[in-house]
């Protein structure tokens, strides 16, 4: 299957997510038509695009000229056909309701040219189910962004059961060209990885509050000042290897939690992480030093920003009398 380069994009749904997607694509030189159902929602989208672009200028990520050029590449409309006809890619970002999204895809399928790629920003729904009534299921896939879409690099690329590999590759190339970090899944995975991990985190946070262990403010502070800091520079599995899989196993048992079989096997085999050179990853002195320096530099950057903005005090050797 031949897929032309994806240059003209329609975004269907101009809420917070759709606006972020449209802005990022426009910054990267794509012509974007942003669809909202009503004039008032289209006006709110205009205001949000301008605020978001202004902040990028304020923080040095865009020049004023780049901001004006990007906003000039976005055309807003309340006519669906204008966002769909003659586009290389149409990306749907409407509320997470299967029946609604299926209806939207029926309309997109009827309006778009036969070679147009249709993508959904769905968080949890099956791509195959969304494409159920489409005449081109081989050109339907998910491109799941993370809010705010123009600031978070990751995008999940998820095919349906009949999606062409060429379509997946074309979308992956587009995302790389506009500065994203695409993760391509081999098959239809409703919810992908990020939303599943987030749901587990949300569920545990709510339980802690319900049980009186912590307040919402305490949970959020633990995440933003502790766990979230580390997750910004290291993931789950390299963090497990850093801590030591034997220690992690012991902590789980002491907390009354079941130890996953894969973790038990690694401990039994002596694969304990950094200290043995093998855990979920293979570690050498060089890769260990590089990892530790990368983590430290990332955390130092966050500390420096917090202190500069007055959110944290710098330590001092002076002892008050």
pLDDT the model gives residue 206: 96
CA angle centred on 9, ends 39 and 97, rounded to 5°: 65
Residue 190: the pLDDT is 79
Cα 127 to chain centroid, rounded: 17
Cβ atoms 131, 109 nearer than 8 A: no
Give how far Cα 117 sits from Cα of 2, 18, 123, Å.
Answer: 12, 17, 19
**In what order do the strands lie in the sheet containing 8-12?**
74-77, 31-35, 8-12, 89-92, 117-120, 140-145, 154-159, 181-184
> What are the residue ranges of helices labelled H in the chain?
16-27, 39-58, 64-72, 80-84, 98-111, 127-130, 165-177, 194-210, 216-222, 228-231, 236-243, 245-254, 261-268, 285-308
Of 127, 81, 115, whose CA–CA distance to 5 is shortest? 115
Contact assessment for residue 78 and residue 53, using Cβ atoms and an 8 Å cutoff: no
**And the tokens for 234?**
């290291």
Identify the CA nearest to 136 among candidates 181, 97, 89, 177: 89
Q: What pLDDT sits at residue 17?
A: 93
Per-residue pLDDT of 146-187, as tens digits, reads: 989 999 999 999 999 999 999 999 999 999 999 999 999 999
* The pLDDT of residue 318: 62
Q: Please give the pLDDT value at position 272.
A: 94
d(CA 224, CA 196): 19
**Tokens encoding 320:** 């008050």
For residue 11, give both structure tokens.
Answer: 């975004």
* Residues found in the chain: 321
pLDDT in tens, the chain (321 residues): 667 789 999 999 999 999 999 999 999 999 999 999 999 999 999 999 999 999 999 989 999 999 999 999 999 999 999 999 999 999 999 999 999 999 999 999 999 999 999 999 998 899 999 999 999 999 999 999 998 999 999 999 999 999 999 999 999 999 999 999 999 999 998 777 888 888 899 999 999 999 999 999 999 999 888 888 888 888 899 989 988 999 999 889 988 889 999 999 999 999 999 999 999 999 999 998 898 888 889 888 888 888 888 887 777 556 556
Q: Residues with Cβ < 8 Å from 133, sequence gap 6 or more?
A: 102, 105, 106, 109
Yes or no: say if 34 and 60 are a contact pair by the CB < 8 Å rule: no
Pairing of strands 154-159, 140-145: antiparallel
In this structure, what token pair is assigned to residue 64? 């004023």
- What is the rounded distance in angstroms from the CA atom of residue 251 to the CA atom of residue 245? 10
| H-helix or E-strand spanning residue 214 | none
Distance from first CA to last CA of the chain, Å, rounded?
77
């Amino acid at each position: 299957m031949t897929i032309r380069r994806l240059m003209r994009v329609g975004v269907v749904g101009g809420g917070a997510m759709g606006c972020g997607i449209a802005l990022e694509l426009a910054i990267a030189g794509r012509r974007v038509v942003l669809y909202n159902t009503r004039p008032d929602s289209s006006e709110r989208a205009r205001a949000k695009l301008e605020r978001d672009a202004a902040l990028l200028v304020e923080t040095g990520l865009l020049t004023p000229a780049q901001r004006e050029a990007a906003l000039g590449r976005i055309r807003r409309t309340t006519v669906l056909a204008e966002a769909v006809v003659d586009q290389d890619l149409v990306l749907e970002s409407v509320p997470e309701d299967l029946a609604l999204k299926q209806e939207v895809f029926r309309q997109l399928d009827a309006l778009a040219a036969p070679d147009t790629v249709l993508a959904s920003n769905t968080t949890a729904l099956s791509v195959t189910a969304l494409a159920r009534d489409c005449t081109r299921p081989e050109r339907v896939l998910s491109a799941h962004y993370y809010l705010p879409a123009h600031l978070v690099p990751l995008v999940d690329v998820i095919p349906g059961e009949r999606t062409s590999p060429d379509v997946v590759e074309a979308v992956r190339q587009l995302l790389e060209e506009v500065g994203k970090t695409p993760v391509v899944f081999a098959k239809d995975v409703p919810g992908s990885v990020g939303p599943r991990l987030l749901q587990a985190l949300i569920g545990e946070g709510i339980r802690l509050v319900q049980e009186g262990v912590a307040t919402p403010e305490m949970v959020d502070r633990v995440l933003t000042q502790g766990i979230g800091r580390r997750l910004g520079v290291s993931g789950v599995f390299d963090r497990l290897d850093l801590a030591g899989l034997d220690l992690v196993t012991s902590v789980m048992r002491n907390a009354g939690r079941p130890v996953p079989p894969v973790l038990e096997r690694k401990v039994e085999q002596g694969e304990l992480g950094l200290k043995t050179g093998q855990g979920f990853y293979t570690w050498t002195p060089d890769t260990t030093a590089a990892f530790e320096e990368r983590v430290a530099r990332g955390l130092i950057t966050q500390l420096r920003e917090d202190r500069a903005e007055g959110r944290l005090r710098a330590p001092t050797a002076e002892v008050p009398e």
